[in-house]
Amino acid sequence: MPDTGEVRYLVLADRAVPYLLARVRWPDVAQASSAANPDWLDDPGLFDLPYDPSAVTVSFAQAASVAASWGRQLHPGTAEGVPSYIRRMPANWSDLSPSERRAWGIEFVGRRSAPARRVRRPIWFEAKIGVSSAPAQGNGHVGALAGAGGGPSADAGGLATYGRSQMADVASGPVSVATERRDHVRVRIDGRAHIRSGPSTISVGLVDLSEGGVRCVLPEAAPLVAPGATFGGPFLLEAEVITSRICLDATGRISWHRTIGASTHFGIAFGELAAGETEGVRRLLSASRNRRGQR
């Protein structure tokens, strides 16, 4: 692993839900934390993690969002004087031993739960969609991040955020989605998406989600958002209906794009998702639909 001088952040996920967050820089930084053990732990076996096919490289902003979901604030740099885990070598992050699972508090990983119920809409509702336009609404945590510099009102994680009052104009105008593909059922979802594009991460508001893509909104124009533009991923989606995030290690392409006043509305079509990622999206869709049904 070449020493670039920069710390590399990686996550491991089960059904798209991150359960381990690591930061690695050869030869001096090898630390990780988990939802069950949010304190950092030194582990030389983490130097093997970037080469594991199940590891997903994320930006600092995406890593900060994962840490925030575990109740921790992520700071640049490394923690000093943290405990060390003495492990077997070499490390195999795709097949952890019981001792390794206990050390990280991830005994649950790999246990299969009941499959999430496929989200279906009644036929009359599908017909209604075909002759009407969908309301374009954002949520209260929307913004953009360009590289490490951040934007307006940047928080501790470097993400620029906007209050609900600033989103009033964004939510007011309808957007026609007649040209958007509807191969999958879409469900309205409130939350944020942190999308990595090269060295930059944009933070956008979620409008709706399906197994095939996501619809987003920005309260301003963004140079990275244009019809046909592609993203290398990963996508980190955080919804208000659950406390955790899902991480999709997939590519994406902007399938449509609309400008309403100063705001930008656009749809992203996902590339191929792994089986676990598809299950994670389905679980999120089911949770969002159930929450809305209770309101």
Q: Does domain 123-294 have CATH number 2.40.10.220?
A: yes
pLDDT digits (tens, 9 = 90+) for 176-207: 444 444 568 899 998 999 999 888 889 999 99
**Which residue in 138, 121, 143 sits closest to 190, CA to CA?**
138
Asked whether residue 24 carries a pLDDT value surpassing 50, the answer given is yes
Structure tokens at 155: 């928080």
pLDDT band at 5, cuts 50/70/90?
confident
What lies within 8 Å, CB to CB, of 113 at 6+ separation is none
Whether residue 12 is predicted with pLDDT greater than 80 in this model: the reply is: yes
Q: 276: closest CA among 20, 18, 7?
A: 18
**pLDDT per residue as tens digits for the range 112-122:** 444 444 444 44
**By the 8 A CB rule, do 25 and 8 touch?**
yes
- The H or E element spanning position 62 is helix 60-69
State the CB neighbour count (10 A cutoff) for residue 169: 13
Specify the range with the lowest mean pLDDT, choosing from 80-94, 157-171, 259-273: 157-171
Would you list the domain boundaries of the chain? 8-104, 123-294
Element spanning 124, H or E: helix 123-130
* Confidence at residue 155, expressed as pLDDT on a 0 to 100 scale: 38
Q: What is the pLDDT of residues 31-84, one digit of tens each?
A: 999 988 888 999 998 999 999 999 999 999 999 999 999 989 998 888 787 888
Q: Rounded to whole angstroms, how far apart are CA atoms 236 and 80? A: 28
Confidence of residue 89 (pLDDT cuts 50, 70, 90): low
